Amino acid sequence: MTYCLVVDDSSVIRKVARRILEGLSFEIGEAEDGKQAIESCTARMPDAILLDWNMPIMDGYEFLTTLRKMTGGARPKVVFCTTENDVGHIAKAMDSGADEYVMKPFDKDILASKFEEVGLV
Amino acid sequence: MNANVIQRVIQFISKAAGIVLTPDKAYFIDARLSPLLREENLGTIEALLSKVEAGDRRLSARMIDALTTNETFFFRDRTPFDHFRNIIIPELIQRRPAGKTLRIWCAACSSGQEPFSLVMLLDEMKAQLGGRQVEIHASDISESILAKAKSGIFNQFEVQRGLPTKLLLQYFKKDGDNWQISPDVVRRVNFFRHNLLEDPSRLGTFDVVFCRNVLIYFDRPTRAKIFAGIADRLAPDGFMLLGGAESTFGVTDRFTSHPKERMLHIPLPPRKAPVAVPGRAIA
């Protein structure tokens, strides 16, 4: 089963994403911020990461930069999932090593489409 | 809504657009026509029908718009676009001389995501095309959905369904809450109104016809007629692509499957009626 880590400080978003991604046959792990996500990736590197941008302690951009330098950190497909919807943020995320970008709010079709785009659906 | 009104709506949309609705779709008719009634300050569907049946062409067009389905998204179903890239274009390039323009028709293009996806895909394949020009023609029965297609403006949900983010960044600009596709992409598509029930012979000959996810709304005789029209408009070595739930099987003998891929349909000439041999008695 493909393992996806959902990283978002909102428990509501984590719950919605979990429900959608479990429906797409993903195994789900959760983290509330970038620091917790790094700890989770150190323990078990996921196949995919759904990643929020604005989070306390370590934001999504800093997490991604750190992740990509970790052993095995180049492997997970990273889909940014954030309220930031301007071209500058999207370009910065893609340049920093994200594989896809979801603008909130999202629905099942959008998440399925993005995970299909990165070859995981 | 009484049975007589439902029947009149069913007859109208069948005659005007060939779309088959059944009496159990009363909820659908009500949901689709209610906003139109409000906008036109009409109290009931019967009042709308009376005006349409009396020859009000504007309201008739609006009623067709309301009852047609415009579900679409970028690179929908993916596989047809893979076939376009991996089979159709390589085969056409092999058969057509370098100076020949390839012609593509997106029948029932809705808000334009299909033809715009083809423009973006063809850009990726530019080197492979060897300087060949490609014309993309895209039609729909609905004037309002064509106006949306021509605007090239999509909302945040629309640009996230099927469209890779790298293509969003490459081809779109943020416009308030919406996204505007490059005017160059819009210019490369010839949008026009066409009712699939009408004779398409004025449209010329095409190398590829995309007719996806529309024939499911028609009955079998209407589908057979539309298939024949498309077969007549395709080059003998052209291709037709249908939606995932659509097939020519049992509907027409004007198409056969491509030897490599059964989802690709190749046109066949019409079968000639048997000719009676004079002077021979048939027992």
Condensed to tens digits (0 to 9), the pLDDT of residues A36-54 reads: 999 999 999 999 999 999 9
Give me the percent of chain A exceeding a pLDDT of 90.
96
Give the mutation candidate from B77, B160, B178, B180 for the A interface (greatest A CB count, under 10 A).
B160
**Mean pLDDT of all residues belonging to chain B:** 93
Q: Which residues of A touch B82 (CB under 8 A)?
A: none
Same domain, B136 and B57: no
Same domain, B224 and B127: yes
Confidence of residue B232 (pLDDT cuts 50, 70, 90): very high
Q: Measured between beta carbons, which residues in chain A are less than 8 angstroms from residue B168?
A: 90, 101
Contact B165 A101 (CB under 8 A): yes
CB atoms within 10 A of CB A54: 12
Segment B225-244 shows an average pLDDT of 96
pLDDT at position B283: 41
Q: Does B165 touch chain A (CB under 8 A)?
A: yes
Average pLDDT (A95-120) is: 94
Share of chain A above pLDDT 70, in %: 100
- ipTM for the whole predicted complex goes beyond 0.95: no
* Shortest Cα–Cα distance, A20 to chain B (Å): 15
**CA–CA separation, A83 vs B70, rounded Å?**
28
Under the banding of pLDDT at 50, 70 and 90, the label for residue B282 is: very low
In a domain, B230, yes or no: yes
SS3 for chain B, per residue? CCHHHHHHHHHHHHHHHCECCCHHHHHHHHHHHHHHHHHCCCCCHHHHHHHHHCCCHHHHHHHHHHHCCCCCCCCCCCHHHHHHHHHHHHHHHHHCCCCCCEEEEECCCCCCHHHHHHHHHHHHCHHHHCCCCEEEEEEECCHHHHHHHHHCEECCCHHHCCCCHHHHHHHEEEECCEEEECHHHHHCEEEEECCCCCCCHHHCCEEEEEECCCHHHECHHHHHHHHHHHHHHEEEEEEEEECCCCCCCCCCCCEEECCCCCCEEEECCCCCCCCCCCCCCCC
Q: Mean pLDDT score of chain A, rounded to an integer?
A: 95
B-chain residues near A106 (CB < 8 A): 160
Mark yes or no for CB contact A110/B161 under 8 Å: yes
Are residues B51 and B181 both part of a single domain?
no
The reply to whether B277 falls in a domain is no
A115 shares contact with chain B (CB less than 8 Å): no
> Is there a domain that residue B279 lies in?
no
**According to the model, what pLDDT value does residue B276 have?**
62
- CB contact under 8 Å between A106 and B168, yes or no, is no
- Tell me the average pLDDT across B204-225: 95
Chain B residues whose CB is inside 8 A of the A94 CB are 165-166, 169
- By three-state DSSP, how is residue A43 classified? helix
Please check whether residues B30 and B52 belong to one and the same domain.
yes
Chain A CB contacts of B158 below 8 Å: none
Do B108 and B240 belong to one domain?
A: yes
Predicted local distance difference test score (pLDDT) of residue B240: 98
Its domain, for residue B58, covers 3-67
**pLDDT per residue over B2-11, tens digit each?**
889 999 999 9
Whole-number Å distance between alpha carbons of A105 and A118: 20
CA A32 to chain centre: 12
The model's confidence at residue A121, banded by pLDDT at 50, 70 and 90, is: confident
Mean local confidence (pLDDT), B105-118:
97
The enclosing domain of B12 has a CATH number of 1.10.155.10
For residue B24, count CB atoms less than 10 angstroms from its CB and return exposed for 0-12, middle for 13-18, buried for 19 or more: exposed
B201 plus B96 within the same structural domain: yes
Tell me which CATH homologous superfamily contains domain A2-116. Answer: Response regulator (3.40.50.2300)
Q: With beta carbons less than 8 A apart as the criterion, state whether B129 and B136 touch.
A: no
Rounded CA-CA distance B54/B48 in Å is 10
Give the pairing type, strands B264-267 and B255-257. antiparallel
Identity of the residue in B161, B166, B173 whose CB atom sits nearest the CB atom of A94: B166
In CATH, what number is assigned to the domain containing residue B174?
A: 3.40.50.150
Asked if B50 and B105 sit in the same domain, the reply is no
Specify the pLDDT at position B272.
74
- In the structure, what pLDDT confidence band is assigned to residue B274 with cuts at 50, 70 and 90? low
Is residue B47 in a domain? Answer: yes
Q: Is the pLDDT of residue B158 over 70?
A: yes
Test mutation, A79, A114, A115, A120, chain B, max B CBs within 10 A: A114
Q: pTM of the predicted model, to two decimals?
A: 0.90
Residue of B nearest to A95 (CA): B166
Contact A87 B164 (CB under 8 A): no
What pLDDT is attached to residue B55? 92
Q: Does A95 touch chain B if contact means CB atoms closer than 8 Å?
A: no
Residues of B in contact with A103 (CB under 8 A): 156, 160
pLDDT of residue B177: 92
Number of CB atoms found within 10 A of residue A17's CB: 24
pLDDT number for residue B278: 60
Q: Minimal Cα distance from B74: which residue of A?
A: A113
What per-residue confidence (pLDDT) applies to A71?
95
Dist CA B119 CA B97 (whole Å): 21
* Residue spans per domain, chain A: 2-116
The answer to whether the CB atoms of A91 and B169 lie below 8 A apart is yes
Whether residue A110 and residue B157 make contact (CB cut-off 8 A), yes or no, is yes
Q: How many domains does chain B have?
A: 2
Q: In 3D, which of B18, B2, B116, B4 has the Cα closest to residue B67?
A: B18
